[in-house]
C-alpha cells in the first residue's frame, strides 16, 4: 500500500539557517513524488516534483530510492518560507497521496 510519512508536524528554524523537511514513502512501484506548499491565506500549490529536478524558490528535493526518502532542503531559510509543506506520492492511477504535513516557521 502507498504511504507517505512526514515525521515532523512542526519545524522551526532561524532565518539564514539550513532547513530540511523530511519525507519517507512506501510504494511498491516506481514512485513519483511531489512537494506542495500552502502559504498563509493562499491555496495549496505545487512547489516541485522530483522528475523535474529543478530548484524552486531555493528548494531542492532528491529522490533516494534506497532510503525511500524525498526530503526537501534549502540552504538558507527566509521568513517568506514559513508555510505548511506536504509531501505527496503518485499512487500510480492518477491519485495523489499526501503526508500529514509539516508546518515550517522561520524565526527572524
Partner 1 sequence: DAGVIQSPRHEVTEMGQEVTLRCKPISGHNSLFWYRQTMMRGLELLIYFNNNVPIDDSGMPEDRFSAKMPNASFSTLKIQPSEPRDSAVYFCASSLFTPAGPGELFFGEGSRLTVL
- In the complex, least distance from residue 46 CB atom to partner 1, rounded to whole angstroms: 5
Q: How far is the CB of 60 from partner 1 (least distance, A)?
A: 18
Indicate the length of the chain as a whole number.
Answer: 108
- Residue 85 touches partner 1, criterion: CB under 8 A: no
* x-marked contacts with partner 1 along 53-82 as a string, rule CB under 8 A: ------------------------------
The DSSP bridge pattern shows strands 72-74 and 3-5 to be: unpaired
Say if CB 44 and CB 36 are below 8 A apart: yes
Applying CB under 8 A, which residues contact partner 1? 6, 32, 36, 43-46, 49, 86, 90, 93-101
Amino acid at each position: 500500500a502507498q504511504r507517505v510519512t512526514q515525521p515532523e508536524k512542526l519545524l522551526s528554524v532561524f532565518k539564514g539557517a539550513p532547513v530540511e523537511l523530511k519525507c519517507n514513502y512506501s510504494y511498491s512501484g516506481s514512485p513519483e513524488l511531489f512537494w506542495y506548499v500552502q502559504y498563509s491565506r493562499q491555496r495549496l500549490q505545487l512547489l516541485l516534483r522530483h522528475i523535474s529536478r529543478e530548484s524552486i524558490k531555493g528548494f531542492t528535493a532528491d529522490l533516494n530510492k534506497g532510503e525511500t526518502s524525498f526530503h526537501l532542503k534549502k540552504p538558507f531559510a527566509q521568513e517568506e518560507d514559513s508555510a505548511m509543506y506536504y509531501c505527496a506520492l503518485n499512487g500510480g492511477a492518477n491519485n495523489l497521496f499526501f503526508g500529514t504535513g509539516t508546518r515550517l516557521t522561520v524565526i527572524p
